[in-house]
Structure 1
Amino acid sequence: MGETTILTAADGHRFAAYVAEPQGQAKGGLVVVQEIFGLNPHIRDVCDRWAADGFLTCAPALFDRVERGVELDYDEKGMAQGRAIRTELGWELPLLDLTAAHQAVERAGKCGVIGFCWGGSLAWLAACRLGFSAASCYYGGQIGDFIEETPGCPVEMHFGRLDPLISTEVVAKIRAAEPPDTVIYDYEAGHGFVCDRRDNDFKPESAALAKERTLAFLTQALA
């Protein structure tokens, strides 16, 4: 359904992005923010599925700033490599690429952002800094490091109660901050529970409920 294109950030960096077009009139634009495993088949699937739901979607290859064409497996080696690239990138440079992705889909109207893991934390920063109209943050473990920032749009967050990578204390800190216009959901699941490429982590019932909530949220926020 989608295809790869090249976008240019404000600092002149050129990077790949996967764009999927909906059939008929778009409900809005949607930027999909990757996990630490790169712009891989799962993220492209996510884009295609949201396009099928009526959104013009774009997933920027955020790792292109360090190494182009990164697509990592969901194993210890892939996790170590992804974490190393994420650390090298920092937080500010990916936001430049998310801005360019936003511009790529704004022809569809209001734009939302949805992110997973590292991308979930970036989606929170995008909600606070980049002028999106809605943000959905899935298991963004580092949101707590930026919870003092104020979102400029409605936000929803999704966490797994059994997540070994995000402590209950982190989620409690986020809840205690009471960020405005933000809804926080939790599920009987661990980390990566919406990713059907992760056999040991994927929880179909929780994933379906989260998708239902996010679809309703984005449809309303981007109308």
Structure 2
Amino acid sequence: MSEWIKLKAKDGHELSAYVARPIGEAVGVLILVQEIFGVNAHIRSVADGYAKDGFLVVAPAIFDRFEPGVDLTYQPEDMKRAYNFYGMLKPEPTLMDVAAAYEWAKKAGKKIGVIGYCYGGLTSWLVATRGKDYGMQPSCCVGYYAGGVGSVAKEDPSCPVMLHFGANDSHIGKDQVDAVRSAHPEVKIFIYEGAGHAFNRDADPSSYHAASAKLARERSLEFLKTHLA
């Protein structure tokens, strides 16, 4: 079962969030942070998938600060719009929006984790390292292809973290991955041979790498259940 709800951030900004509910009692709560394409069909399907695995999932629409209801495809014109929105993003308001989802998630009385993809992957890392400043203390965080993570690699996460990267990712250099590995050998980092950026994005054949997506999801699910169930 899914629905859209309204959240309010600490600065008074109101935003939408997509909620996917499990059948029966939730094993834990997941905050799912979007790519730069909005809470689109792909992100909603990811949320629905984790709900089928027993999680209550909430995906805040962080682009609502710029335009409500952004729902982009991976076609060239929408790609241009996505990168325009990306240029407007800043960590502080994004973390406030995630914190609004976190406050809502607390009502379930379960452990809370964060999972994010692309820009959401970087945000997931920042929730792990800066979340306390925004009233968040997740039990674990998972980041897929977190672009820019190298620049904040020395920040200390306050919870267990798992990161996934494609070996052929043209957006994220090996130096970024190595920076995290060097600063935090305890962080679980997985590299997927043959996979590029956005390898989990099954709605985009040009990016999707089925074998890597399957393995990364299996690892993520085990990690989430270990720390949230």
TM (norm. structure 1) is 0.96
Letter in 2 for 1:205: A
After superposition, the C-alpha distances for 1:150-188 in whole angstroms (9 at most, x for unaligned) are 111000000000111111222222222225x41100102
Match of 2:45 in 1: 45
User: How is 1:173-188 mapped onto 2 (pairs within 5 angstroms)?
Assistant: 173-178=179-184, 181-188=186-193
Does residue 140 of structure 2 align to residue 134 of structure 1? yes
Letter in 2 for 1:33: V
Contact 1:135/1:155 (CA < 8 Å) preserved in 2?
yes
Q: Once the 2 structures are TM-superposed, how far is the Cα of residue 74 of structure 1 from its aligned partner?
A: 1.0
Does residue 221 of structure 2 align to residue 215 of structure 1? yes
Match of 2:176 in 1: 170
User: How is 1:40-189 mapped onto 2 (pairs within 5 angstroms)?
Assistant: 40-106=40-106, 107-130=108-131, 131-178=137-184, 181-188=186-193, 189=195
Q: Once the 2 structures are TM-superposed, how far is the Cα of residue 108 of structure 1 from its aligned partner?
A: 4.4
Structure 1: unaligned runs, 5 residues or longer: none
Structure 2: unaligned runs, 5 residues or longer: 132-136
Contact 2:150/2:175 (CA < 8 Å) preserved in 1?
no
CA distance in 1, matches of 2:60, 2:125: 16
Contact 2:145/2:198 (CA < 8 Å) preserved in 1?
yes
SS in 1 for 2:77: helix
Contact 1:26/1:108 (CA < 8 Å) preserved in 2?
no
SS in 2 for 1:158: strand
Contact 1:27/1:108 (CA < 8 Å) preserved in 2?
no
CA distance in 1, matches of 2:72, 2:65: 16
Letter in 1 for 2:36: I
CA distance in 1, matches of 2:109, 2:78: 34
Contact 2:181/2:187 (CA < 8 Å) preserved in 1?
no
CA distance in 1, matches of 2:208, 2:77: 20
Identical amino acids, percent of aligned pairs: 45
Contact 2:171/2:197 (CA < 8 Å) preserved in 1?
yes
SS in 1 for 2:204: coil
After superposition, the C-alpha distances for 1:115-147 in whole angstroms (9 at most, x for unaligned) are 000000000001112211100000001111211
Q: Once the 2 structures are TM-superposed, how far is the Cα of residue 30 of structure 1 from its aligned partner?
A: 0.2
Aligned-residue CA RMSD (Å): 1.2
CA distance in 1, matches of 2:86, 2:206: 24
Contact 2:154/2:180 (CA < 8 Å) preserved in 1?
no
